[in-house]
Structures are given as structure tokens and as C-alpha cells.
Chain A
Amino acid sequence: SQQGEEDPQALSIQEGENATMNCSYKTSINNLQWYRQNSGRGLVHLILIRSNEREKHSGRLRVTLDTSKKSSSLLITASRAADTASYFCATDDLTSGSRLTFGEGTQLTVNP
């Protein structure tokens, strides 16, 4: 079963715009991670936010976590065509023994 659900499923924006993707989950978590996948390739870890953190930044990425709403958002600022990829949230929940459960992803297209 999928723990994380991303919204929207697909997002198309112009270069320079900001992109926001949301993730909702169902259980209590240790941390939530965001991964990126270029078409048909392996996933690449972007950022991890722990359950006691509310916001985290890494370069053009900003992640927020609201444990009361069981939701997270990933903001990519000043997007570039090279940001075109699928983005997945993954949760490490308290009962999983450090296994990750992935959502179905958001397909982001950044048009030049």
C-alpha cells in the first residue's frame, strides 16, 4: 500500500517559475524524504526532513513538514528545464524498521 500520495500527479510550468508539490501520508513518521527520478533512471535523494523539523532548505529546494496534517511540500524555486523529472516523497514510518514507503510521484515538466 502507498503511504505517501503526491499532488498534483503532473505539473507543467515555464522556466523561472516556482514549482510546488505536495505529499500526504497516513502514519507517524521518523522522517520524510524527497527523491528525483529522470525518465527511466534511478532515483536520486534530494532532501530529508525529520519529524521534529518544520522546514528545511537545500539550494533552490525548500521542504516543509506538518506532522499534525501529515503532509509535506517541496518547493523548487526559479525552475530550470533541467528540473524536468518525476519527484517522489518517501516516508520512514515508526513501524517500518527503516524501510521507506514511496508515493506515486509528481511528473514535473519545465518548459524553456
Chain B
Amino acid sequence: DADVTQTPRNRITKTGKRIMLECSQTKGHDRMYWYRQDPGLGLRLIYYSFDVKDINKGEISDGYSVSRQAQAKFSLSLESAIPNQTALYFCATSLPSYNEQFFGPGTRLTVL
């Protein structure tokens, strides 16, 4: 079984709709992250959480919100999706003592 899972894997939605992307992990890591990747570009950090009570904005948090429901679950919401939020979204986890990050398989989101 995969250590970091994301649901859904693919989603097509319309402008203005609310979308939630979910991430679950079985690695027991406290730290979780959400990134987006646009074609031909690297990853940009949206939000990150170092424990259940800790939520921090990343580089590009506008238009997004997150919820850390448990150590193992970190959800990303688009309150009102817009076309330029079309991208590949990745969840990742890490340990505090060693900053190697473990990535989920990604969610491909298309906003029409």
C-alpha cells in the first residue's frame, strides 16, 4: 500500500465550484505539505502543517484553504475554483529531524 495517498487522482470541475482534495498518510509523519505544479515548472508551496494545530501559508495560498483533521490527514480546498488553478497538486510529508519529503501520486485538477 502507498504511504501517501491522494484522492481524487483526477478531477474536472467548473469555474465557481468548491473542490476538496484529500491527502492521507501512513508514515506517521507530523509534517505535511500541499504543492501545485504547472506544466514545465517546479513545485510551489501552497500550505504546510508541522502538526495538527499548526497551519501555515506557503508561497501561493490565495484562493486555497486547508484543514488538518488528524496527524494522518491534510485536505486542500478551493473555495471557488478558477481556470488558472488548473494544475497538478501534490501532497507530501516529512519528519522534523530530516527534511526528505515523501510525495503522493498527485491529483490532476482541471477547472473549465
Residue positions of A touching B, CB distance < 8 A: 1-2, 4, 30-31, 33, 40-45, 48, 88, 90, 92, 98-105
Contact = CB atoms under 8 A, between A and B. Distances in A.
Interface of B: 4, 31, 33, 35, 40-45, 48, 50, 58-59, 88, 90, 92, 94, 96, 98-106, 108
Query: When A and B form their complex, which 10 residue pairs have the shortest distance between CB atoms, in order from nearest?
Result: A42-B103, A102-B42, A102-B43, A104-B42, A43-B103, A45-B100, A42-B105, A92-B99, A103-B42, A98-B99
A22 B94 CA distance: 25
A43 B88 CA distance: 12
Contacts of B99: 30-31, 33, 48, 92, 98, 100
A6 to B, nearest CB: 8
A100 B4 CA distance: 18
B105 A41 contact: yes
Contacts of A99: 33, 45, 48, 58
Pick from B33, B43, B45 the residue with the most CB of A within 10 Å: B43
A94 to B, nearest CB: 13
Nearest to A10: B40
B91 to A, nearest CB: 9
B52 to A, nearest CB: 17
